[in-house]
Amino acid sequence: MNPDNKNNQVNSKKNTLVKTGIVSVVAGLLGGGIAYAGLSQVNNNDSNNAPQTAVVQPTKSSKSSSNNSQMTNAFNDVKASVVSVINLKRQSARSSSSDEDLFNSLFGDSNSSSSSSSNSKKANLETYSEGSGVIYMKSNGKGYIVTNNHVVSGSDAIQVVLSNGKKVSAKKVGSDAETDLAVLTIDSKYVTQTAQFGSSKNLQPGQQVIAVGSPLGSEYATSVTQGIISAKNRTISVPDENGNATTQATVIQTDAAINPGNSGGPLVNMQGQVIGINSMKLSQSTDGTAVEGMGFAIPSDEVVSIINQLVKNGKIDRPQLGIRVVSVNELTEYGRRKLNLPSSVKSGVYVASVSSNGSAAKGGMKARDIITKIDGKEINDVVSLHTTLYSHKIGQTIQVQVLRNGKTQNLNITLKK
């Protein structure tokens, strides 16, 4: 069982948002070989006994459909920038054999103690997990790669496998567990292509996209799958390794196949622009039913904001309101009735709960409030809430406009971690 799967999968009776990573597989080469040989023998026997027949050959098409051409071009725009990311961890080296230890102890080898001590300190780097990444910038002699935090978390060393198969060392610039993003660097001499970010703001459900990465590891590097955008700003609860929902994330939902190992790879639009970083998939429903075609990617607008801060500071210090929320425009009609939302309220962020010691609680915010503005800026959904909130610093005071029981109120909230 691969460590990435072992650490991140959740019990079957919970909504399982599994962070994807490499899964160890052994191809059934023996079975495949036997089947192929058997089929070849049958074909040979048939050809010896049966009369010759006409052979149908495929006809080459002079042109492909415009849609296929667009997606092929989009893939070509990013394929050389997509890499496999290998998380290496140290494993203690085996000390000398028991027979050698016995010999040393009986005959007083003067080097035995120092040799044993030296061996115990030795360690080999071994592959712990694999994921994907994308080279997005070349600057100051370095190539910059964005990937998922969980792909490189806990690593003792990191390697990157380029699209041409070359394996090179990488260094971690910074990482952020909350958004599940990390930035790595490699020597710029290895960079032959950089991907370009597009804005995720104007994505539309039904829009075609491709996911590029290394499903099942670098053996299948630069694999591409196609799908559509199912939702452009889905708010989900992200569980920790114990299956407890600890944070919320606003993500792009897609049915493009995102398999273990795709983590950290790009979600790309038809113009060849990166509009998301693949991070998670929903593997089963609450009753344990297997789920297919529900993958999630971190929106590019958030990615750009986070990685710029990571390059500059190596970490993210962000203010927190201490609330759990949902976008009003994501609620169903049943949900709106359940929450008694006025029909006139079309957008904003509904506050489901407020932490007692958080910034929001101390500023007077209450559950069932609807956040509509921060410092005069419209808050239409969770994405705009995060974007506006994270543009402020810890210690600053912001004015938050909320709708409470149909009436507008202004709250002054001092931000803290």
The verdict on residue 144 lying in a domain is no
Number of domains in the chain: 2
- Of 4, 81, 129, 150, the active-site residue reads 150
- Residue 149 near residue 175, CB atoms below 8 Å: yes
Cα–Cα distance, 291 to 338 (Å, whole number): 27
End position of a domain, from candidates 247, 282, 313: 313
Is residue 344 within 8 Å of 407, Cβ to Cβ?
no
Give one word for 106, left, alpha or beta, with left for phi > 0 and alpha for psi -120 to 50: alpha
CA dist 254 → 173, 231, 264, 304, 400 (Å): 29, 7, 15, 20, 33
Residues 200 and 285 placed together within one structural domain of the fold: yes
| Domain boundaries, position 354 | 323-414
| Catalytic residue from among 153, 263, 279, 384 | 263
User: Residue 47, SS3?
Assistant: helix
Is position 141 within any domain? no
Is 109 an active-site residue? Answer: no
Whether 392 is catalytic is: no
Render each residue's pLDDT in the chain as its tens digit; 417 residues: 444 444 443 343 333 344 443 332 222 222 222 222 332 332 334 444 444 555 655 555 444 456 678 989 999 999 999 999 999 998 765 444 444 454 444 344 445 444 444 444 446 888 888 999 999 999 999 999 999 999 999 999 999 999 999 999 999 999 998 889 999 999 999 999 999 999 998 899 999 999 999 888 788 888 999 999 999 988 887 765 555 555 678 899 999 988 888 999 999 999 999 999 999 887 666 667 777 778 999 999 999 999 999 999 998 888 989 999 988 988 888 888 888 888 888 899 999 999 999 999 999 999 999 999 999 999 988 878 988 898 888 999 999 999 998 899 999 999 998
Would you say residue 330 lies in a domain?
yes
Helix and strand numbers (H, E) in the chain are 10, 20
Q: Which of 256, 287, 313 is the last residue of a domain?
A: 313
> Exactly one of 4, 176, 180, 301 is catalytic; which is it?
180
Regarding whether 291 and 209 lie in a shared domain, the answer is: yes
- The SS3 assignment for 394 reads coil
DSSP annotation string for 133-161: EEEEEEETTEEEEEE-HHHHTT-SEEEEE
| 386 among known catalytic residues | no
| Backbone torsions φ then ψ of 345, nearest 5 degrees | -85, 110
Which of 278, 313, 348 terminates a domain? The answer is: 313
